[in-house]
Copies of this chain bind each other. A is one copy, B any other.
Amino acid sequence: MASTAERILDSAQALAQVRGYNGFSYADISAELAITKPSIHHHFPSKAQLAEALIARYRERFAVARQEVDDAATGARERLAGYAGLYAQVFAEGGRMCLCGVFAADAASLPPGVRRAVAAFFDDQRRWVAAAFLEAGLPAARARGAAQAFLAALEGALLLARAGAPTVDDAAVADPGEDVVLSVAATMLDTLL
């Protein structure tokens, strides 16, 4: 059974990933968990602190998932394909966007600490992806460029998948969002490597 703090983080993350930083509130979490707003404030005194905790956990979990990809993969290409799969999984879970991707979109309205945490997350990702391209045999300068483009394409693919996601009006149409992410990733790897 998850602790209250963890259940709050779970709810807040799901909300943030589909509605953005300014699109969710303590009241939303309160309604989802059948807990009052002051109880949430007890665990996370301010929304900024909640968001920072959200990013810290997200970043750690992402690092763990990356490591699992590393352990399972035999070569650099497989590592990168597995990494892209993590993004596809994010979308598959309720049409979510990368937590730091949504936050980056609202950057100018973020508390400073949250913005810094977002920047740190992307630095972390850039480093990992660049190392993978380096392992794949690309020269250092090109590996950095490829990493930037690969990351941008994955974040952008999530954005496009979101934009094209079915509305209530045409819910009958199959959601192609996950395919968008995977096909963009495949295109990137086919051309970059």
Evaluate contact between A105 and B112: CB separation under 8 angstroms.
no
8 Å CB contact of A159 from B101, B180, B183, B188: B101
Sample (30) of A-B pairs whose CB atoms are under 8 Å apart:
A20-B23, A20-B106, A20-B109, A23-B108, A104-B159, A104-B163, A105-B106, A105-B162, A107-B165, A116-B167, A118-B163, A119-B163, A119-B167, A122-B160, A123-B164, A148-B157, A148-B160, A148-B180, A148-B183, A148-B184, A149-B184, A149-B187, A152-B155, A152-B156, A152-B157, A152-B184, A155-B156, A159-B159, A191-B191, A191-B192
A121 cross-chain contacts in B, Cβ below 8 A: 163
CB contact list, A167-193 vs B, under 8 A: 167-169, 180, 183-184, 186-188, 191-192
Identify the A interface with B (CB < 8 A): 18-24, 95, 97, 100-102, 104-109, 112, 115-116, 118-119, 121-123, 145-146, 148-149, 151-157, 159-160, 162-165, 167-169, 180, 183-184, 186-188, 191-192
Task: List the 4 closest pairs (A to B, CB-CB), nearest first.
Answer: A156-B156, A152-B156, A105-B105, A23-B109
Return the chain B residue nearest A22 by Cβ.
B22
Q: Which residue of B lies closest to A157 (CB)?
A: B152
- Greatest chain B CB density within 10 A among A20, A186, A191 is at A20
Q: Indicate whether A105 sits within 8 Å of B115 (C-beta atoms), given known contacts A146-B187, A152-B184, A155-B156.
A: no
